[in-house]
Amino acid sequence: MKIAFRSDIGRIRLVNEDRGFAELTDTGIAVAIVADGMGGHQAGDVASQLAVDTFREAMQGTSPELSVDERKMLIRQAILQANEVVFDMASRNEHYHNMGTTVVAALLQPDNGVIGHIGDSRAYKWRDGTLTQLTVDHTLVNELVKSGQISVEEAARHPRRNVLTRALGTDVHVEVDVKGLSWQPGDLLLLCSDGLTNMVSEEEMTETILQEELDLDGKADKLVELALLAGGDDNITVVLLHHAEDTEQEE
């Protein structure tokens, strides 16, 4: 397994409220998470950091013997625990009132994996030349698209496209979307914040992944560079996990 992680403040924002983490554990499981924080008084970076730290701690010592259903339960519980931590902090400190974060996380073993997410940070899987979005955005515009009120093209330009219908830490109870995925040699998983997906098309992502002269590190750099060239309106965070024979972590 190869892993690359990049985060950039972008060209407009004064603070990077994105946080991420990815590693291959001693037990051979790949653990990764991307969180995109929100809230005034720099509370967004507090929310995303708390979420990542809580998730990371909950994943320590994860057994490779767990079934897919057990790992689904584990990732759901870890994200719900993060929700509790962020909500509690927001409730006790007026500066952090209403802070929250998106989250997209993955647990990968050699033959399968699980994804958990809340919000509009996304997971994509690359296999045999095809890039497939695995997550569904929890946003107002996505609800409007699903109900047929606006088109996908209109959603991309909608003035309220960043309004979330679900976030981590803003309510006592939150629903986590969890799904399993097949995972085989050659596959690549992309976790990212909307600072990438709002700026870079799936076609451009595909072209970047196809560039054989770039290693995984270079592909992560290129994705961030494309978002910056397109305006860099938001923080940009990218995690790439490649099901490769050799094991390498790139920072």
Tokens of 181: 């995925």
154 located within any domain = yes
| Rounded CA separation 250/2 (Å) | 8
Q: How confident is the model at residue 61 (pLDDT cuts 50, 70, 90)?
A: confident
| Rounded CA separation 135/104 (Å) | 9
End-to-end C-alpha distance for the chain, whole angstroms: 14
251 located within any domain = no
10 located within any domain = yes
Write the pLDDT tens digit of every residue in 104-132: 999 999 999 999 999 999 999 999 999 99
> How many domains in the chain?
1
187 located within any domain = yes
126 located within any domain = yes
Write the pLDDT tens digit of every residue in 196-232: 999 999 999 999 999 999 999 999 999 999 999 999 9
In this prediction the pTM is 0.94
CATH code, domain with 209: 3.60.40.10
Domain extent for 182: 2-245
231 located within any domain = yes
193 located within any domain = yes
111 located within any domain = yes
Residue 45 has pLDDT above 90, yes or no: yes
Residue 251 has pLDDT above 70, yes or no: no
The stretch 43-71 carries a mean pLDDT of: 94
